Structure 1
Amino acid sequence: MKGSTHLTIGTVVGIGAALAYAGSLPHAALLITAASFSALAADLDGPSLLSSRLSPLSRFLRYAVPTAGALAVIGVLLYGVRYGFTPLPVFASVALLLAGLTAKEGFIRNALVSAVGTGLLYLAWRASSLGLCGLGAFVVIAPWLKHRGMTHTLWVLAAWTALGYQLELEWGYPGLMLASGAGYFSHLAADTLTPSGVKWFSPLLRKSFKLR
């Protein structure tokens, strides 16, 4: 299924979480960002955001989104070093950069994604954050995995939801676990509707589950 479809579903999930839990505009923005990024995260193991048949708009977005994400990350880092880091700008800028990189493929793309994960691990170490540490480890490892492999399993869904719970505890934003877990689940559920299906229980069970 196209990444644009996953993104749309994740955004809807995030809006629902924001309506249920958000007490402020930044809180709502964080929940929507978390759900939208989670809906794309499973495809960090392969290009997905744009189809292989690129329209002029797709070609533009293929370069514009990661460029905007990189600039956002640089801006957040420069601001954070001087004034301190806050969750929403860091998460939003990294999510934008990674979303852009899912539209690319190859060794360089994988290395860039892993580099972003390494940066998250550094921030996790500076902030003593178990949640960011887990997120960083996922981002480092995921691009080198087989497409629709381990990232598309029940076990990683559970781990991703646990990361959302940990970040909810650390950052104090209710609903972050639900937004993250539901966003990731929406990706697997949507892929189950495709002809290839999803191997939910791999490697214990290699059967691909699909609903047409």
Structure 2
Amino acid sequence: MDGTSHFVIGLAAGAFAGFQASHDPVAISVCTAIGGISGLAPDLDTNGLASNRITVSKKVAQAIMQLIGISVFLLITYRFLTDGLSTSLLVYGAIGLVLLIVSRLITQRRILTLTGILVMLLGFVLHQSIGILLAGSYIIIASFLPHRSYTHSLLGAAFYGFILVQFHNQWPMEGMVAAGLAGYASHLVADMKILPMNRRGVKWFAPIWKREF
């Protein structure tokens, strides 16, 4: 099933969960959005449909890192000519060199990893938000997983549910957790082999039992 279908089904699941929790239009709208996003979350794994949607292309990422790396070297050259050598210049030079090296080695899959790292950094900036930190860790872990593995299981759903609880603790809203879990679960159900459009199924009980359903 394609990403658009998962998103639409997730929206419907989130809207239903939001309506069950509250009749406030704002809360229902937020829950609908959460359901749609959660309906795409399992495909953040390797080669998943959503993983390529939230990341920039490899060429764009390479160009950005090379531009920053070159800019750093130009800056430290200017500072060296005006103020002389210092420890901070050596540190900045090392950062610029690392960026240039990484830009040559990075793959599309690792761009997703970098996206997770940036999300975690955002969590630190926003007063060490546990929910955002865990969301970043989810993206990082998913970037190393084969498609339709642990993100498409009850284990992945439980971890995602824990993230939702942390978001709810920081930004309470009725129906948030239920809408997110409904959207996530809708993805797993829509990927099951019982549906004729799916050649592969979902390993609900991985890693304990790897049978596809």
TM bracket (short chain): 0.5 to 0.7
Contact 2:120 2:137 in 1 (8 A): yes
Query: What is the distance in 2 between the residues matched to 1:190 and 1:148?
Result: 12
Contact 1:168 1:175 in 2 (8 A): no
Match of 1:12 in 2: 12
Q: Which runs of 5+ in 1 are unaligned?
A: 50-61, 68-106
- Alpha-carbon shift at residue 66 of structure 1 (Å): 6.4
Query: What is the distance in 2 between the residues matched to 1:183 and 1:42?
Result: 10
Contact 2:18 2:176 in 1 (8 A): no
Q: How many residues align?
A: 158
Contact 1:188 1:198 in 2 (8 A): yes
* Higher relative contact order structure (alpha carbons within 8 Å, sequence separation ≥ 6): 2
Query: What is the distance in 2 between the residues matched to 1:29 and 1:113?
Result: 28
Match of 2:168 in 1: 168
Match of 1:23 in 2: 24
Match of 1:151 in 2: 151
TM-score (norm 1): 0.66
Q: Which amino acid aligns with 1:154?
A: L
Match of 2:92 in 1: none
Query: What is the distance in 1 between the residues matched to 2:171 and 2:189?
Result: 28
66 and 22 in structure 1: CA distance in 2 versus 1, 3 angstrom threshold: farther
122 and 37 in structure 1: CA distance in 2 versus 1, 3 angstrom threshold: same
Equivalent residue runs for 1:42-57 within 5 Å: 42-45=42-45, 46-48=47-49
- Alpha-carbon shift at residue 31 of structure 1 (Å): 1.8
Query: What is the distance in 2 between the residues matched to 1:22 and 1:160?
Result: 25
Shift >3 Å, 4+ stretches: none
Q: Which runs of 5+ in 2 are unaligned?
A: 57-105
C-alpha root-mean-square deviation of aligned residues, in Å?
2.5
Q: Which amino acid aligns with 1:201?
A: F
Q: Which amino acid aligns with 2:190?
A: A
Q: Which amino acid aligns with 1:17?
A: A
Identity of aligned residues (%): 30
Contact 2:18 2:178 in 1 (8 A): no
Equivalent residue runs for 1:90-105 within 5 Å: none
- Alpha-carbon shift at residue 34 of structure 1 (Å): 1.5
Contact 2:55 2:115 in 1 (8 A): no
Match of 2:135 in 1: 135
Match of 2:206 in 1: 202
Match of 2:109 in 1: 110
